[in-house]
Chains A and B, each alone.
Chain A
Amino acid sequence: MKVLVPVKRVIDYNVKVRVKADGSGVDLANVKMSMNPFDEIAVEEAIRLKEKGAAEEVVVVSIGVKQAQETLRTALAMGADRAILVVAADDVHQDIEPLAVAKILKAVIDEEQPGLVLAGKQAIDNDMNATGQMLSALLGWSQATFASKLEIEGDSASVTREVDGGLQTIKVKMPCVVTVDLRLNEPRYASLPNIMKAKKKPLDEKTAADLGVDVTPRLTVVKTTEPEGRKAGIKVESVDELIKKLKDEAGVI
């Protein structure tokens, strides 16, 4: 089985995000970028499937600016076999929307014919949480989202999902799209020898146009603002007062 893992290049989770002065988005010029943490988990899971003998090949795909090849190299250094870069933007500030990404992935999948797509549940930059679901619809494949455990059982997969209030285990038919959650695994660090080897692994480059996908945005960003700073707290005198405030002011009970 071939496993395909889409990986996105996003602002590094350690970087303090700054909103651009004109409010059109987040400043990405010259800030450190890394692989989306959820995608790292997906890559890790794919590599583990290969190590267990459940998969033969791990192919990673990134869509965006040319610099995303660094992200692909990271995935190759972790243990993926092959990478495909789909250049779809010149400007680091241009985000490719989930539907366009899903369409591009579908085109790649039509060529590659993987048995499983493992994706992050969302990217930490815009938190859309939509690509995996859209992709499964476009492909007509089954989907399992928010996976915290994955077991391949012949032509089906057993997936434990993190849902509100607990865990749910479902069985889906393969091929399928699985989006992964935080607790699925702890991604490995790439070893130095593997970083060196990654340089020699194949990295194909295509463009969105090659795949016939129009990436023109369909959404309009109206405004971007910093989240409101945390306000100073207050001390309450009694439990009664606390309950009253939670009821009347906060409206949470």
Chain B
Amino acid sequence: MPVYIAPTKDMQFLLHDVLRVTESDVAGYADIDRDMTGAILDEAGKLATDVLAPLNLSGDQEGCRLENGVVTTPKGFKEAFEALKEGGWNGLDLPEEFGGQNLPYVMGTAVGEIFVSANMAFNMYQGLTHGAISALLAHGSQGQKETYLPKMVSLDWTGTMNLTEPHCGTDLGQIRTKAEPQDDGSYLITGQKIFISAGDHDLADNVIHLVLAKAPGGGEGTKGISLFVVPKFLVNEDGSLGDRNALSVGKIEEKMGIHANATCVMNYDGAKGWLVGELHKGMRNMFTMMNEARMGVGLQGYAVAEAAYQNALAYAKDRLQGRDVTGAKEPDKAADPIIVHPDVRRMLMDQKSFVEGARAFTFWGASLIDRAHRAGDKDADGLVSLMTPVIKGFLTDKGFEGAVQAQQVWGGHGYIEEGGMSQFARDARIAMIYEGANGIQALDLVGRKLAADGGKHVMAFFEMVKAECKAHDGDERMKGFTDPLKAASKQLQAAGMFFMQNGMKNPNAALAGSYDFMHLMGHVCLGLMWTRMAKAAHAALDAGASDRDFYEAKLATGRYYMARQLPACAMHLARIESGADPVMALDAEAF
């Protein structure tokens, strides 16, 4: 069975050596000192290793069942959910008035990574609830908050997000589910939603669905869409559960991965719902939570890759196959462990350098969200909005790649379900699709985010990279980081230039290159992260840190990323500069 140990040391390094959280003036940051974050991460890690991870493979094999309209989760999930609940983990970054601990989002991100790595499918029951809580916090009425939030924060009830319908996922303007206003101020919701994660299950007493639907008078397309809260069981005045609402699970999907999370067809047959936020502003309301939701999916990408990597590494140290060509390492054995082979090293270093860079990127993004929300910093908000499609698209693409590479390290055994490596690849795959398919992330980045606020945020990002490189001018030790970063950043700017010059005349010239741009930018972001981590590692070594091995390894891993991954930027630029022609040359009929 696969194992998982939370990388708490790396997380502590990011929080305290790189982000230096306690020095920040953002509210709540001064309190999360090394001891506090260490205690939290250790305990989350214990729960992940002892309770959640052991259910990952069995949950995948058993899957969820729908019988007589009731969804049953795999064996052990109920007890594990109880442990999660009792630990109060869902409230980590939620307001105290509803039972949370109000810790910064960056801590929620760190703990979230641990839980996702241990068991992604299980974690989604909580993750979707957290998303629904954010929506109600941002847009719900005081009454709605008081009715739903305490129970959702404690996980007595869970939540879902209902956007997708059979004929539309990306283009939600086509939504058909309708909402008819009633005299008592409620609405009756009718329609079918599909692919609803955690749509129903046996882990909680009630499921609070947030549903996008069309109410009369809103007009065509996305403008007519409103957001409704539709509980599985209606809630009485005194907070107790009342009648069953007119909604049901049509079926649960059989799918490639995350088998232990019920993906439901939800039928609403005149179910009672209540408007959340303003009428006809449902899409806009959804957008306000998009950064967090998409960052959460980007996190899934690298978190699963981390779990896969840990098991690839263990296997590489254990599996005896072939001899080290420079001389046998274990002559008394039949062969050397495969970790001696350069090609196996390549695979391990690809994974390690990606995951550690991705973690830094995501933690940094989360700290920007804290800055935006807790300190009202508009620039931080603009910057994280720019980064969000990159975090979502790039990290889930590369996370899947990492999981496949981990599988490759296991050779034939990676392809066999018993070892669990195949599951990592299958689970990681969905993160590239939901919460906006990655192609849509690229579209959002190039079509919307680059030009947002007159291009202010992307310019600020270029300046940030420049300043980081300049800060190390003349520092020989940093050249291996700053030289490639400078070059990649120039390539990114050249790509942006190409879009500016050609996109106006022919939008396809920009759209055909959007996916490459997302990846190019992803590499520049990870390059920036590695430069910052290198700086922090040197600082720690100079200060005489006792665990030199950790910091030396950090530097070597960073150098690998800069030397082996950043060259991809030139390729992406070349593709972008080839414009729309090679991509659009064939007529649709000619395929």
Task: Give a binary string over B31-44; 1 marks a CB under 8 Å from any A CB, 0 the rest.
Answer: 00001101110110
Q: In whole angstroms, how far apart are the Cα atoms of A77 and B35 in the complex?
A: 13
CB distance A198 to B39 under 8 Å?
A: yes
Given contact pairs A29-B547, A30-B549, A189-B47, A73 touches B87 in the complex (Cβ within 8 A): no
Nearest residue in A to B107 (C-beta to C-beta)?
Answer: A192
Asked if B268 CB lies within 8 Å of chain A CBs, one says: no
Nearest-CB distance from B52 to chain A (Å)?
Answer: 11
When the two chains form their complex, are residues A14 and B88 in contact, meaning their CB atoms are under 8 A apart? no
List CB contacts (< 8 Å) of B34-86 with chain A: 35-36, 38-40, 42-43, 46-47, 49, 51, 83, 86
Q: Does B433 contact A (CB under 8 A)?
A: no
B142 on the interface (CB 8 Å rule)?
no
How would residues 204 to 237 of chain A score, 1 for a CB under 8 Å from any chain B CB and 0 otherwise? Answer: 0000000000000000000000000000000000
Known: A191-B87, A196-B101. A70 touches B38 (CB 8 A): yes
Contacts of A192 in B (CB 8 A): 40, 43, 87-89, 91-92, 101
**Chain A CB within 8 A of B550 CB:** yes
Contact residues in B for A29 (Cβ distance below 8 Å)? 546-547
Question: Are B36 and A199 within 8 A (Cβ)?
Answer: yes
B478 within 8 A of A: no
Per the 8 Å Cβ criterion, residues 104-127 of A in contact with B are none
CB within 8 Å of B: which A12-64 residues:
14, 29-30, 32, 34
Residue from A34, A74, A193 in contact with B101 in the complex, judged by beta carbons closer than 8 Å: A193
- In angstroms, how far is the closest chain B Cβ from the Cβ of A10? 14
- Flag A184-200 by CB within 8 Å of B: 1 or 0 each: 00000111110110110
CA distance A190 to B39 in the complex (A): 10
User: Are B43 and A77 interface neighbours, CB within 8 A?
Assistant: yes
**Distance in Å: Cβ of B130 to nearest Cβ of chain A:** 14
Check if A195 sits within 8 Å of B40, measured CB to CB. yes
CA distance A180 to B108 in the complex (A): 36
Q: Which residue of B lies closest to A78 (CB)?
A: B43
B86:A73 contact, CB within 8 angstroms: no
Q: Complex: how many Å from CA A30 to CA B549?
A: 9
State the CA gap A14–B549 with chains docked (Å).
Answer: 20
A195 and B32 CA atoms in complex are apart in Å by 12
Question: How many pairs of residues, A versus B, come closer than 8 Å at their CB atoms?
Answer: 55
Chain A residues contacting B451 (CB-CB under 8 Å) are none
- Chain B: residues with Cβ within 8 Å of the partner, total of 26
Q: Roughly how many angstroms separate A195 CA and B46 CA in the complex, as a whole number?
A: 13
What residues of chain B lie closer than 8 Å to A199, measured between beta carbons? Answer: 35-36, 39
Query: Quick one: which of A138-196 are within 8 Å of B by CB?
Result: 189-193, 195-196
Question: Is B540 positioned at the interface, with any CB of A under 8 Å from its CB?
Answer: no
Min distance, Cβ A210 to any Cβ of chain B, angstroms:
23
Asked whether A70 lies within 8 Å of B39 as measured between CB atoms, the reply is: yes
Query: Shortest Cβ distance from A68 into chain B, in angstroms?
Result: 12
B5 interface hit (Cβ, 8 Å): yes
Identify B43's interface contact among A30, A32, A69, A189, CB under 8 A.
A189
Q: Assess the B87–A30 pair: CB atoms within 8 A.
A: no
CB neighbours (8 Å) of A74 from chain B are 39, 42-43
Residues of B540-573 contacting chain A, CB below 8 A: 546-547, 549-550
Residues B49 and A189 in contact, CB atoms below 8 Å apart: no
Which residues of B are found within 8 Å of A193, using beta-carbon distances?
Answer: 88, 91, 101
Q: Which residues of B contact A77 (CB under 8 A)?
A: 39, 43
Is A30 a contact of B546 with CB atoms below 8 Å? yes
User: Does the CB pair A189–B549 fall under 8 Å?
Assistant: no
B125 → chain A closest CB, angstroms: 18
- Tell me how far the C-beta of B505 lies from the nearest C-beta in chain A, rounded to whole angstroms: 55
**Min CB gap A52→B, angstroms:** 19
CB-CB under 8 A for A14 and B49, given A29-B546, A196-B101: yes
Contact A30 B49 (CB under 8 A): no
Task: State whether B43 touches A73 (Cβ < 8 A).
Answer: no
How far apart are the CA atoms of A198 and B83 in the complex, in Å?
19
**When chains A and B are docked, how far (Å) is the Cα of A195 from the Cα of B92?**
11
Judging by beta carbons under 8 Å apart, are A30 and B547 in contact?
yes
CA A195 – CA B91 in complex, angstroms?
Answer: 13
Give A170 Cβ to nearest chain B Cβ, in Å. Answer: 33
- Give B272 Cβ to nearest chain A Cβ, in Å: 34
B5: chain A residues within 8 A (beta carbon): 14
Q: B448 to chain A: closest CB distance in Å? A: 37
Residues on the A chain within 8 Å of B549, using CB = 30
Q: Is the CB of B546 within 8 A of A73?
A: no
- Nearest Cβ on chain B to A247's Cβ, whole angstroms: 31
**Residues of A contacting B101 in the complex (Cβ-Cβ under 8 angstroms):** 192-193, 196
- Interface residues, chain B, with chain A CB atoms under 8 Å away: 5, 8-9, 35-36, 38-40, 42-43, 46-47, 49, 51, 83, 86-89, 91-92, 101, 546-547, 549-550
**With A29-B547, A193-B91 already in contact, 16 other A-B pairs whose C-beta atoms are closer than 8 Å:** A14-B49, A29-B546, A30-B546, A30-B550, A69-B35, A70-B38, A73-B39, A77-B39, A189-B43, A190-B87, A191-B88, A192-B43, A192-B88, A192-B92, A196-B36, A196-B101
For this complex, 30 residue pairs linking A to B, each with C-beta atoms less than 8 Å apart, are A14-B5, A14-B49, A29-B546, A29-B547, A30-B546, A32-B8, A70-B35, A70-B39, A73-B35, A73-B39, A74-B39, A74-B42, A74-B43, A189-B43, A189-B46, A189-B47, A189-B51, A189-B86, A189-B87, A190-B43, A190-B87, A191-B87, A191-B88, A192-B40, A192-B43, A192-B91, A192-B101, A193-B91, A195-B36, A199-B36
Shortest 3 CB-CB contacts between residues of A and residues of B: A30-B547, A192-B88, A191-B87
